[in-house]
Amino acid sequence: MPTSSGADNPQDMLDCIELCNDCHKTYLGTTMYCLQLGGKYAQANHVRLMFDCAEICQTSSNLMQRGSDLHVYACGACAAVCRRCADDCRRVAA
């Protein structure tokens, strides 16, 4: 069970929030692009995972911005979802 975000420094937290926001925007834009491409890029499981990644990035950012002590749980999930999404993007691009 996580007990620390790894971002104890206020600047680290701000950097993490910015990265989460950037990832959210990137995944939404990439998902829309994949849908336009169609075919293997628009497979339901792939698109769903990309939307999940965008959503957990936004949720993590929101919790950190509010100073919620629960952000450590969302951020842990965010890291796992982002890794899974990156793996799936590599699979689809191959």
pTM score, two decimals?
0.87
Residue in the block written with tokens 């206020």: 10
Name all domains of the chain by residue range, CATH numbers in brackets: 10-93 (1.20.1270)
pLDDT for 24-83, tens place per residue? Answer: 999 999 999 999 999 999 999 999 999 999 999 999 999 999 999 999 999 999 999 999
pLDDT value at position 9? 82
H, E, C per residue of the chain? CCCCCCCCCHHHHHHHHHHHHHHHHHHHHHHHHHHHHCHHHHCHHHHHHHHHHHHHHHHHHHHHHHCCCCHHHHHHHHHHHHHHHHHHHHHHHC
